[in-house]
């Protein structure tokens, strides 16, 4: 959960060892552990950074290493113990524990100045309780369930678990608009879908693509409808071919006319067990879905160098899941001097000539 201008410091009131899989220390009971700083040590670190403050101390006093307000109770001003559950770099939530040990999320204007749960990886989805409402409380409910499972507490199943996971996009490119040609045909202008109108978008489950389609060039869109009861009834359109399909959420085999889409429950399960691709587990191997504990930097070995252009105008499409192939986002600039055939394969063949 760290960033380029911040850090998350493991600290408690008095410091000491905290159990953590992969930690370099051992508790009295033999558990792997990490060493937490005390609050006073963190305060001292903050004071040390005050000397690096580049601003006029009368205008901007204090340290450039500011201890966040989240650490303090907004009603009493006293420092409190925060907890964090982090799935990956941008997927984390901060919480407190009540007297019974139950997690309590940090909520704006209740126990914090801001909501402190991440929407990264879920923000593109509609509110499954009321799709026309911009309220993101359903994400808070999902995070609370994730945290309670991590703490081995009882968790209730969300009411929206079996609803198809649907997002909202706009008709923002000619390619998407062309796919709506058959839908618009014969309709009066007022009833047609026009550029920059809203659309629904669904996410097909692995092995859930209609028979005979290319998963890298298949994505379902539909006219915007805020009623989840209609999502299974409507005709969905493949934005690449313009063909129409029905969606299902059951485990039954798909056909040439149906696609098996993810439900909110399945999306949340994938979200909860997302592997952190940028880090390695304690043995140095890439993180898996079940990796837990202290991570380390992932060591990589350069195999080849490719010059690519990262087309920033498509990054939002990647985030929303409407682009499935990296070739749609990256432009490759081949360098003849780095041709893999000439550098690797030809020399290897010559050895055995």
Using pLDDT thresholds of 50, 70 and 90, give the confidence band for residue 306.
Answer: confident
Q: What is the pLDDT of residues 110-133, one digit of tens each?
A: 999 999 999 988 988 999 988 888
Closest to 262 in 3D by CA, of 231, 229, 217, 227: 231
* Strands (E) located in the chain: 11-12, 16-19, 25-26, 32-38, 83-88, 91-97, 103-105, 166-170, 198-202, 220-223, 236-238, 244-248, 258-260, 279-280, 296-297, 307-310, 330-333
Which DSSP state fits 101? Answer: S
Is the pLDDT at 182 greater than 90? The verdict is no
Q: Residue 284, Cα to own-chain centre: how many angstroms? A: 23
Using pLDDT thresholds of 50, 70 and 90, give the confidence band for residue 326.
Answer: low
Both tokens of 107, joined, read 């909520």
Mean pLDDT of 214-219: 90
Q: What is the pLDDT of residues 223-259, one digit of tens each?
A: 999 899 899 999 999 988 999 999 999 877 788 999 9
- Can you give the pLDDT at residue 175? 78
Count the Cβ atoms, other than its own, within 10 Å of residue 37.
17
Q: What is the pLDDT of residues 190-202, one digit of tens each?
A: 889 999 999 999 9
This prediction's pTM: 0.84
Please report which residue ranges of 104-173 form alpha helices under DSSP H: 137-150
- Can you give the pLDDT at residue 233? 92
């Amino acid at each position: 959960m760290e960033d380029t201008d911040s850090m998350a410091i493991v600290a408690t009131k008095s410091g000491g060892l905290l159990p953590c899989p992969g930690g370099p220390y051992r508790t009295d009971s033999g558990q792997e552990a990490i060493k937490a700083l005390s609050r006073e040590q963190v305060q001292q670190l903050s004071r040390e950074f005050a000397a690096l403050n580049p601003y006029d101390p009368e205008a901007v006093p204090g340290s450039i290493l500011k201890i966040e307000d989240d650490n303090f109770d907004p009603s009493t001003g006293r420092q409190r113990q925060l907890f964090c559950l982090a799935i990956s770099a941008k997927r984390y939530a901060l919480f407190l524990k009540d007297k019974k040990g139950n997690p309590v999320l940090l909520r704006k204007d209740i126990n914090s100045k801001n909501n402190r749960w991440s929407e990264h990886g879920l923000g593109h989805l509609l509110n499954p309780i009321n799709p026309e409402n911009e309220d993101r409380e359903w994400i808070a409910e999902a995070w609370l369930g994730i945290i309670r499972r991590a703490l081995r507490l009882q968790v209730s199943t969300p009411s929206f678990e079996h609803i198809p996971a649907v997002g909202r996009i706009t008709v923002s490119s000619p390619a998407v608009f062309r796919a709506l040609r058959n839908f618009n045909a014969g309709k009066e202008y007022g009833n047609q879908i026009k550029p920059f109108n809203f659309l629904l978008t669904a996410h097909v489950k692995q092995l859930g693509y209609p028979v005979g389609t290319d998963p890298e060039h298949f994505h379902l869109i539909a006219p915007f409808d805020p009623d989840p009861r209609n999502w299974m009834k409507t005709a969905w359109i493949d934005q690449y071919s313009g063909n129409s399909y029905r969606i299902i959420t059951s485990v039954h085999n798909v056909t040439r006319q149906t696609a098996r889409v993810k439900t909110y429950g399945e999306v949340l399960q994938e979200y909860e067990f997302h592997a952190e691709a940028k880090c390695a587990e304690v043995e140095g191997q890439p993180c898996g879905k079940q990796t837990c504990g202290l991570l380390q930097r992932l060591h990589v070995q350069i195999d080849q160098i490719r010059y690519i252009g990262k087309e920033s105008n498509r990054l939002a499409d990647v985030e929303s899941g409407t682009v499935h192939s990296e070739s749609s986002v990256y432009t490759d600039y081949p360098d003849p001097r780095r041709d893999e055939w000439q550098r690797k394969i030809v020399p290897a063949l010559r050895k055995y000539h």
